Amino acid sequence: MKGWIGRFLLVNLATMAGAVFAQEYPAIAEGRRIEMLRHPTKRPVRMVFDTDTYNEIDDQFALVYALISPELDVQAVYAAPFHNNRSTGPGDGMEKSHEEILRILSKLDRSPDGFAFKGSTKYLADVKSPERSPAAMDLIERAKKSSPDDPLYVAAVGAITNVSNAILIEPSIIRNIVVVWLGGNGHHWPHQREFNYMQDLKASRVVFDSGVPLVQLPCTPIVTHFTTTVPEMERYVGGRGAIGDYLLEIFKGYHKDHFAWSKVLWDMTAIAWLVNDRWLPSDLVHSPIVTDNYTFSFDHSRHLIRAVNFVHRDPIFRDFFTKLDARAKN
């Protein structure tokens, strides 16, 4: 190979090789993985929730949705790191997320003891040195008590740091969990510069390379359709107890000008998939290769994951509003 084409191919092949072969993970038979990627039939669904709760406002809605859904058995909540204009760094973001989790639980009259756990204080620096945060260690303990026939569902809606740390500390858990992650963009979108994905690229690579059964909810152009407005929030969320009033308050406070404005509540969709997958149709696709350039490369010999390809917005909000209203009346 000569010229720039040859150099381009060599660089990208080296990048791909480094990404794919940097770490070894336990093998899962493809038939078993496909079976685990089916929608859970056992009810309630045993799950944990990994959330950067203070990052914006959609996490709070997702956490409440999970906790008021009888189809789900939320066994733990983990605070994930984040860094944007609401935090001074990943560790500060995690601490603020943990505080927000406690605030939500208080308004729902739920105790945080043995339920809410602090996560990683930093992003994954190296696959050989994962952080043993309380969240990662709790996930490992719960995963070890699970099995391929009765897996633990890990709904994650932020940087996938806590989950990847747990996998790196104890790789065998990939046989006993199913990760449902809102992260990355559509596989044929020009780039993967999506907040959850790009915050911790090394952690993102772990979930796509490890072979852990993975349900991916791509943000653009899939989950971007899941929008709502102030009038809808005022009509169906406000006045539904302390938690409803709080959700309305943070929703209205997120943007100053409400005229012709709508907001995507991204994270609720990860919970919605666990409640009813018919609202979020999906396909089995080959796990993409995470490049250092915030793009995907593709190799059709790689293991399968499940990727959501559409969001039916209305039934999800109808389900959430109905459950919130019923709770307020009890």
Chain segment 239-282, per-residue pLDDT in tens: 999 999 999 999 999 999 999 999 999 999 999 999 999 999 99
Confidence band for 110, pLDDT divided at 50, 70 and 90: very high
The answer to whether the CB of 187 falls within 8 A of the CB of 279 is: no
Structural domain including 54 reads 48-329
Of 218, 229, 217, the closest CA to residue 277 belongs to 217
Q: Where residue 13 falls among pLDDT bands split at 50, 70, 90?
A: very low
pLDDT value at 296 more than 50: yes
Q: Is residue 280 part of a domain?
A: yes
The pLDDT value recorded for residue 9 is 42
Per-residue model confidence (pLDDT) at position 128: 94
- pTM value? 0.93
In a domain, residue 30? The reply is: no
Q: What is the pLDDT of residue 19?
A: 43
Give me the chain's average pLDDT, please.
94
The pLDDT tens digits for 150-203 are 999 999 999 999 999 999 999 999 999 999 999 999 999 999 999 999 999 999
Longest dimension (CA), the chain: 73
Q: What is the pLDDT of residue 39?
A: 97
Is residue 22 in a domain?
no
Average confidence (pLDDT) over 304-321: 98
Angle, CA of 283, 286 and 287, to the nearest 5°: 110
* pLDDT score, position 132: 98
Q: What is the pLDDT of residue 22?
A: 54
**Is 263 part of a structural domain of the chain?**
yes
Residue 4 has pLDDT above 70, yes or no: no
**Read out DSSP for 245-257?**
HHHHHHHHHT-S-
Token pair recorded at residue 249: 């308050």
- The count of structural domains within the chain is 1
Cα dihedral 193→64→226→165 (10° resolution): 20
Q: Is residue 39 part of a domain?
A: no
* Alpha-carbon separation of residue 65 from 222, 271, 272, 316, 320 (angstroms): 20, 7, 8, 10, 6
The answer to whether residue 92 is domain-embedded is yes
In this predicted structure, the answer to whether residue 16 has a pLDDT above a threshold of 90 is: no
Query: What tokens appear for 196 in the block?
Result: 């959850």
Output the domain CATH number for residue 223.
3.90.245.10
Whether residue 248 lies inside any domain: the answer is yes
Identify the DSSP state of 218. Answer: -
Domain contains 60: yes
Side-chain half-sphere exposure of 41, counting CA atoms within 13 A = 4
pLDDT recorded at residue 224: 97
**Mean local confidence (pLDDT), 234-238:** 98
Q: Give the helix ranges, DSSP H, for the chain.
A: 3-21, 30-36, 58-67, 90-107, 134-144, 161-169, 195-199, 201-209, 230-236, 241-253, 268-275, 313-329
